[in-house]
Structure 1
């Protein structure tokens, strides 16, 4: 026993010398920072405690050194905790006074239990007994709790430091973490076996001495101890929950140990029942939304100057609005309700001169409406008032609408403002835990309401745009049908105009019959497609020469009559035959209308590299360069009295779908040339092989 006492004294003596030397270096530095002074105080207390612990078997000036060491250990641990708290409070978000009060309470408890259980009792070389001194158990448990708090603070210090600044603090975290982790190991072993192991106690001084170089490195790297921390409320919440669970489990373990000690034969059974019940109760509390809400409100109220962590709240609010799942209205209710821990609500939006129910969340279906311009709506819009259901606002022109009281547990009505106008409002039920309503809560709810209104308005506009696009598709199809009918009508008008002069000509009669048959065929095919609702494009390999012959067949009676020139009869292209025929027919119709009877119209088909080229040339009036650049391919732009201005636009868009293009070349009085370029079928077949 004498040898173990000598080893313990030497170990703590080395620790005292190390911390005393470090304290001397700090004194020579002559820095006046608050953190520096507190670090110096903690090092001096640690050095003094180590020196007194080395003399714990002696009595100096009538004082029991073991009892003095117990008191100094509490002061030393408390000093390191206060040092960590001061570093954490340097961000301005952590009010140190309240946390210092908690540490002071723990230190006082430690001193009180230390008076009842001096170190001489703890280090007594006795075997574990069935019944231990309650004062001894209390002293060990309080020491263990202080070590746990220290570990949590070190973890917060490191995690809360920005990654770019951890270089200056990591060795201090490692040193202080070692101090508290070793204390945790020492006292958890003591709590388990109801005595402090002499070997663990003897090595404590040397372990503390190993931490001095790490503290010295940090003091050199970061002499001002300026960390610029921003402690996350989420981390504080989880840490507080972890501390609460640890305290709860320690209390339940102590209760189970007590039941086992006094329960006789029923002791082990009662201990197991107690531990199982405690575990179930803890699980129920951890999964309780109300318990988490109370803890969150308690931490925000007592540990932070600002009630909300706006960065985290805004991130969560935006994520709730944008994520999938429920309807946009229900997501908006949930996002606003989460700010004040409300579990349910309903949404009203302005539609057709009244505010109608748009969504509900955990409340009965609502059917009541509120007229736009009512006294209640004016209150929400003009003053942006957040109405509490428990009392009528002093600026209200009358009582609250009766239908609001039909919502069970109604608490708040939050306006949703958009561009200075009331877009809607959200009615929320009472929160899971009491929430103090102040200016900060109201401002956040107003801002969240405006953001929710923007998202809801965006959703409604997107829905209206989708409907408008459906009508646009239908109107576009109708326009194209009318355009085709107009072309057929123009062909028949030309036919009738020429019939007065050539009705006795047998060739004209044959051309007239061919034109009428072609028109009937086109109208029949169009009606069949409309009746089937088949407006999609069906592409297949087509012989381009045949498509051009069918297109020209409808203009055999026209004056001038188009002339077809085919250089290659074998050219194939992957097209919709009817649409390509309609495209060429439209170009022919424009050429016939722009060319005098004594002019000429030529349609040619030739091959150019891997493309087929179809040209429609006329000797008509032509077009100006400005017209071709600004108006030719723009929809609903036309120079014809009865024209619709979509033929050239439709033709170009269809050719682009095929991978081709439509070019125009013209000059006033010199005629026009429209050139269609299409990829050939053979070229299309070779693309996958070379890909």
Structure 2
């Protein structure tokens, strides 16, 4: 059967045990933490034995002995906290050791007296007088109250905020013990009611001590209670109490409603549930509850870990066609439960409204960089509270806001976006639906996330600018290559014009000249189409038979001197490439070989197969190049040895194109002997399979 004493001491045991387990967490805390953990553990032990005594399972003697052990632990703890206030470590150590020896000796004396009384066979339990032995037990809480008073008195006034709950909790324990034993000494017996209530008194006082532990960071307690859990728990508890009250109301409606009682009860319950649903779905109610919990149950207003993770998650999420700017406004607005916001960003010397979240910004004017608002945000780096500005404009020195900002509905805060001490933009936030008191913690958090948001937006702007720059770079590169190809075509046409003076009456020459002009015009049109389409034309590949292509290139370059010859050592080799670009690239190499070779020299275009690679070699007997030139200058863009006649992109374009095909370029040259320019290109899979089938058929 449950008794009052059993329930009372069971509650006290649970409270002391929880405190001891909480103090087991953490990596620091020092001697004070371990002493308090010992005091909580011995309290749990004493009250646990008291539970057993209340259930008739143990003798009262063991309850008294463990109570003395518990008293010793609390006295040592208070002595440790008190002596820690002494600046000299050696003196503090001596004082603590003396206190421990004095209290330990006295409690051993009281324990001996108690043992002697029990050993003498005298009846000794609740309700029976204990004369002078009660006085011995009464001295212990007096000593504890003296230590509590000395602890509070010797603590600096500015440090009492963290110690007052400790003094209240331990002082309450010893004050009740003093009342218990002074009453027992006066009436020559322990009052059973006071003794049974003692467990609940401990259950109330120990949480007060726990508050002191949580408020002091030196205890290093690692147990964390999520604000979200507290919010939902409070909401469910409130809903439960509400439904309980409605149940009581429904009971009275049914019993006192007469013939309409049953119907009234149904209507009453339905209305109560509807009201509860409305309250649960109400944004202002939820916001007010969250503010109430943060204000009264947590030391800090925000759960910074959750806020930061939510902020980063909002910035990082990306849906189709969703820009970063509205998400930045949303991420900052969510921190203070703001329902809407507008972003101004610095562009072309002014701050322009570029994005919003749940608000319109198209009709809002820009803010000039020289205006009062940007200068104040840049100089002060402060969040502007518009309600405070309306009440006391003088609080914001040298700030003159435009009237249209103050006229925006529910305009509340202006948060600066600063990166590297430069104001890049600002966000106007609307007032939340719930009651929200703006303080220094809101200001610091908004300034911090504003810097992070400014960094994200600046990086986003830089990425967009880089993408545009790359588009221009691609266009300029294509333009350079096209101009280079046009230069070669112009060279061919110039050669035709030069020879026309001597061979205008030669029908074969005229036919060849017309064919050359027609071929040049076709190539110019294809180059212009390539310039308009960008890299798309270059990516269009086909199967190119190399030997006919090399013969075509040789015919095209035949107007130059020396005339190139073609040596196809392997026929039927095909690669996957854009035919026009490949012909132009090989033509560049042949033209360079002709320019470097005297008219009596040789330029040979050779094709052979090596493993799975088709090797196109352009060999000349020209001036040649040294190793340093090949290594440092040959493939460097815009490096040329032809003066104003060259552009210096031919070799670079050739290597870049061949590498895109999966091949490589090799140059072998000796000064005064000539050069071999080899282009190795993978044979296409289709061509390789056909060759293998032919070999199998021949076998």
TM-score clears 0.5: yes
- 8 Å contact kept, 2:482–2:531: no
Matched with 2:679 is 676
Q: Distance in 1 between matches of 2:229 and 2:594?
A: 80
Shift of 1:511: 5.8
Matched with 1:354 is 350
Shift of 1:75: 6.2
Q: How does 1:264-343 map to 2 (within 5 A)?
A: 264-325=258-319, 326-343=322-339
Q: How does 1:515-664 map to 2 (within 5 A)?
A: 515-527=516-528, 535-640=537-642, 641-664=644-667
Change in Cα spacing, 1:345 to 1:78, as seen in structure 2 (3 Å) is farther
Shift of 1:585: 0.4
Q: TM-score under structure 2 normalisation?
A: 0.68
Matched with 1:345 is 341
Matched with 2:185 is none
Q: Secondary structure at the match of 1:541?
A: strand
- 8 Å contact kept, 1:93–1:231: no
Q: How does 1:425-504 map to 2 (within 5 A)?
A: 425-496=426-497
Q: How does 1:355-434 map to 2 (within 5 A)?
A: 355-365=351-361, 366-390=363-387, 391=389, 392-397=393-398, 399-434=400-435
Q: Distance in 2 between matches of 1:339 and 1:485?
A: 61
Shift of 1:408: 0.5
Q: Secondary structure at the match of 2:343?
A: strand
Shift of 1:557: 1.9
- 8 Å contact kept, 2:416–2:450: yes
Shift of 1:85: 7.6
Q: Deviations over 1:120-167 (max 9, x none)?
A: xxxxxxxxxxxxxxxxxxxxxxxxxxxxxxxxxxxxxxxxxxxxxxxx
Change in Cα spacing, 1:542 to 1:398, as seen in structure 2 (3 Å) is closer
Q: Secondary structure at the match of 1:554?
A: helix
Q: Deviations over 1:93-142 (max 9, x none)?
A: 899xxxxxxxxxxxxxxxxxxxxxxxxxxxxxxxxxxxxxxxxxxxxxxx
Q: Secondary structure at the match of 1:535?
A: helix
- 8 Å contact kept, 1:88–1:231: no
Change in Cα spacing, 1:242 to 1:38, as seen in structure 2 (3 Å) is farther
Q: How does 1:113-262 map to 2 (within 5 A)?
A: 228-262=222-256
- 8 Å contact kept, 1:572–1:681: yes
Shift of 1:647: 2.1
Q: Distance in 2 between matches of 1:31 and 1:374?
A: 57
Q: Distance in 2 between matches of 1:592 and 1:474?
A: 30
Q: Secondary structure at the match of 2:274?
A: helix
Q: C-alpha root-mean-square deviation of aligned residues, in Å?
A: 3.9
- 8 Å contact kept, 1:603–1:615: yes
Q: Distance in 1 between matches of 2:359 and 2:578?
A: 56
Q: TM-score under structure 1 normalisation?
A: 0.69
Matched with 1:154 is none
Matched with 2:35 is 33
Q: Distance in 2 between matches of 1:237 and 1:35?
A: 30
Q: Deviations over 1:327-370 (max 9, x none)?
A: 32211111222222211121111111111111122334342111
Q: Distance in 2 between matches of 1:45 and 1:423?
A: 64
- 8 Å contact kept, 1:49–1:72: no
Q: Distance in 2 between matches of 1:596 and 1:524?
A: 32
- 8 Å contact kept, 1:349–1:425: yes
Shift of 1:681: 2.7
- 8 Å contact kept, 1:320–1:335: yes
Q: Distance in 1 between matches of 2:491 and 2:435?
A: 79
- 8 Å contact kept, 1:519–1:554: no
Shift of 1:685: 6.1
Shift of 1:542: 2.0
Shift of 1:512: 4.9
Q: Distance in 2 between matches of 1:290 and 1:573?
A: 70
- 8 Å contact kept, 2:577–2:661: yes
Q: Distance in 2 between matches of 1:76 and 1:276?
A: 44
Change in Cα spacing, 1:40 to 1:374, as seen in structure 2 (3 Å) is same
Shift of 1:319: 1.4
Change in Cα spacing, 1:570 to 1:31, as seen in structure 2 (3 Å) is closer
- 8 Å contact kept, 2:372–2:398: yes
Change in Cα spacing, 1:354 to 1:437, as seen in structure 2 (3 Å) is same
Matched with 1:190 is none
Q: Deviations over 1:362-401 (max 9, x none)?
A: 3343421111111221111111122222322545335311
Count of aligned pairs = 536
Residue segments in structure 2 that go unaligned for 5+ positions in a row: 21-31, 58-125, 129-190, 693-699
Q: Distance in 2 between matches of 1:530 and 1:477?
A: 6
Shift of 1:659: 1.9
- 8 Å contact kept, 2:479–2:531: no
- 8 Å contact kept, 1:624–1:668: yes
Q: Secondary structure at the match of 1:633?
A: coil
Change in Cα spacing, 1:490 to 1:405, as seen in structure 2 (3 Å) is same
Q: Deviations over 1:447-482 (max 9, x none)?
A: 111111111112222222222233333333322221
